[in-house]
Amino acid sequence: MNTFFISTPIYYVNAKPHLGHAYTTIVADSVNRFHKLQGKETYFLTGTDEHGDKIVQAAEKNKQTPKEYVDIISKLFKDTWPGLEIEYNRFIRTTDPDHIACVQTFLQRVYDNGDIYFGEYGGFYCFGCERFYTEKELQDGLCPDHQTKPEFIQEKNYFFRMSKYLKPLREYIESHPDFIQPERYRNEVLGLLKEDLGDLCISRPKSRLTWGIELPFDKNFVTYVWFDALINYITALGWPDGENFQKFWPNAHHLVAKDILKPHAIFWPTMLMAAGVDLYKGLRVHGYWTVNETKMSKSLGNVVSPMSMKDKYGLSAFRYFLLREMQFGLDASFSEEALVGRLNADLANDLGNLFSRVLTMTNKYFAGEVPEPGSLEKIDEDALELGFNALKNYQDLFPKFQFSKALSSLWELVRHLNKYIDTCAPWSLYKNKETERLKTVIYILLEGMRKIGLHLWPVMPSTSIKMLSQLGVDFDLQKVNLDQETKQWGGLKPGIKVAKKSNLFPRRELKLEKSCETKTEAQKVRKSQKEKNYIEFEDFVKVELKVGKVVKAQKVPKADKLLQVFVDLGENEPRQVVAGLAEYYEPDELIGKQVVVVANLKPRKLRGVLSQGMILAVQAKGKMELLTVSGEVKPGSKVS
Ligand code: MSP
């Protein structure tokens, strides 16, 4: 099982690449990279679906020939993917000569096997869907997808004897639980198979449509677009005789969204059975992205462009967000608020901070060299064990397409390492000259960061390489041994120089464009904010913030981290506030500083000392920066 094949749907060229296409293709790229990390030889296929009525209509609208039109839009897709760090093996087009030949070979085989017959059919045809509907399937006589009246068409056509293979397919799905996943879609398909699905009309007369692949056994007809499109998956591998076909097809996985479940789960496997080709290994089905909980559509003007998200918030954040936010299989709502939220919390705060704190400390304490670790204490062993478990879970969940859970597991390690810093307090070890202990602590942190950086390669390839290079490690796919990473530590070589600083994920502000701010959009934003536990304005104004001046400060006895700070808030006496500043400031350094104090916090005792408020500060890069104001103000001035 040392190979892996993944495909995306081949996209219609009647729309530009948007968030939905980008999601599927980024997922395919990430999964493909994950298998590469596992040492497998992989093949990643994407491309464009270029035949059919829809394309002819779109070309006509643009006053172009179908060929001129498909060349332009197909190129748009092809050119978008590298900008999103998507690295495919082949970009297939259904107008490629080898595909046309492959479709014809396939059709001829099924025809020779007796599974294609000529017949007459009258039915309701929806041009939007490019398919016939039975009366039962229509809703009030309208196409359920397009809400348009289908045309009744009576014509002679070729049919694929799909009905013959429906029972064997059902049995196959029942005995291969992993064939279609997640489970909800497997069940949906088993449900569909209970109905009488009949045979499949697989041709269109040239009198009606010429933009398609000619049937090899009747030049008056072209192939129905779905029958043509699905075959792309084996064209790319050189079916029937190609070496790649032998190598990759046994491990072929198709990735699609729920909209095209039926063609992939029913048409395609029955087609393969009829042609005597083994079935693909697995179909993986994801849900739909909405935008602020509204369906994405051109007419609503809310189509999200992947390139603009990359430009605004950075590619790593965009890719991370897509994988982290959507529970694979379920629908998810895209919003820039949520993207910025994740970027600032998970990437800037948790991961970015970890890197910048530890690199700063390595430079300060060891002149930027990876120290040699000494013997381990319980806290170190616990950190290693937590790390191994987090990585094991990640490695288990990622190939099962459970990206959100996989990433949340990896973040347990990220957060744990941040906590480990706070608990081990390297600055105190440094101050107290406990150099051996300090070396171990810093080494464990750097080694943990190396493991995290490496595991993030499938999700954010160039940032992962940057993380590793900041740790003095060259990324070399050949040398990666993922399995070992969950059992052993010590991959980072002592003595290597690390980067002076790290600015992996600068915090970003939300950049909403005015055009989005329609009334309904604003309502949606408000709704989604509530769901995220944002506080109400009325709650916020209850907090009384005041600017004061520090007049005196002293250590709190028997508390390493605490200072007793006296702040003039313009009241009769200075307030005394107990603050966790002792590791960062000598008491005298604080005197004269203007600080922001939460002035109406209920007083309480900390280590036996009364604290009458809270001083606001920001922990950044291993330091504690006090919140202050840009000019001198009267003590007790309210922050508004
Ligand atoms: N051409 C066919 C597929 C043939 S495959 C042999 C087609 N093309 S499509 O352009 O309509 O692409 C559909 C696919 O685009 C979905 O299955 C999904 O991968 C992606 N998405 C398009 N919109 C989407 C969302 N709003 N959300 C998530 N993915 C969606 O169907």
Q: What is the pLDDT of residues 40-53, one digit of tens each?
A: 999 999 999 999 98
Mean pLDDT value across residues 17-33: 98
Measured between alpha carbons, how far is 385 from 387 in angstroms, rounded to an integer?
5
Q: pLDDT digit string (tens) for 564-577?
A: 999 999 998 899 99
Percentage of the chain beyond pLDDT 90 is 80
**CA gap 335, 592 in Å, rounded:** 44
CB 611 within 8 A of CB 603: yes
Which residues have CB under 8 Å from 454's CB, separation 6+? 37, 464, 468, 475, 480, 485
- What's the pLDDT at 476? 97
Please tell me the number of Cα atoms within 13 Å of 141 on its side-chain side.
3
User: Quick check: do 3-118+163-197+213-286 and 336-485 share a fold?
Assistant: no
User: Comparing 19-33, 64-78, 340-354, 548-562, which segment has the lowest mean pLDDT?
Assistant: 548-562
Distance (Å, whole) CA 613 – CA 627: 14
- Cis peptide bond upstream of 66, omega within 30: no
- Return d(Cα 358, Cα 366) in angstroms, integer: 11
For 152-156, 385-389, 497-501, which range has the lowest pLDDT when averaged over its residues? 152-156
Q: Which CATH class is domain 540-638?
A: mainly beta
Q: Give the pLDDT score at 640.
A: 84
Average confidence (pLDDT) over 324-349: 96
Q: Using CA atoms, how far apart are residues 265 and 189, in angstroms rounded to an integer?
A: 7
Tell me, using a 6 A CB cutoff, whether residue 10 lines ligand 1. yes
Average pLDDT estimate for 259-274: 98
| % of the chain at pLDDT higher than 70 | 96
- The pLDDT value given to residue 517: 37
At residue 515, the pLDDT reads 41
Closest Cα to atom 5, ligand 1: which residue? 9
Nearest CA residue ID for atom 21, ligand 1: 20
Strands 90-93 and 332-334: unpaired
Domain spans in the chain, listed from the N-terminal domain onward: 3-118+163-197+213-286, 336-485, 540-638
Instruction: Look up the pTM and report it.
Output: 0.81
The lowest-confidence range among 132-136, 241-245, 549-553, 593-597 is 132-136
The atom of ligand 1 lying closest to the CA of 258 is 17
Q: Which CATH number fits domain 336-485: 1.10.730.10, 1.10.3720.10, 3.30.360.10, 1.20.1250.20?
A: 1.10.730.10
Are 318 and 326 in contact, with CB atoms under 8 Å apart?
A: no
Residue partners of 635: CB distance under 8 A and separation at least 6: 547, 548, 549, 567, 568, 569, 570
Dist CA 274 CA 163 (whole Å): 11
Per-residue model confidence (pLDDT) at position 514: 46
Contact call for residues 317 and 339 (beta carbons, < 8 A): yes
Q: What is the mean pLDDT of the chain?
A: 93
516 pLDDT higher than 80: no
Element at 79 (helix H, strand E): helix 66-83
- Taking the C-alpha atoms of residue 630 and residue 195, their distance in angstroms, rounded to an integer, is 72
Residue 229 has a pLDDT of 98
146 in active site: yes
Is the CB of residue 315 less than 8 Å from the CB of residue 328? no
For the record, the structure tokens of 200 come out as 């499949």
What is the third-level CATH fold of 3-118+163-197+213-286? Rossmann fold (3.40.50)
Residue range 270-315, pLDDT digits in tens = 999 999 999 999 999 999 999 988 899 888 889 999 999 999 999 9
Catalytic residue (one of 18, 439, 451, 455): 18
Element (H, E) at 231: none
State in Å: Cα 258 to ligand 1 middle: 9
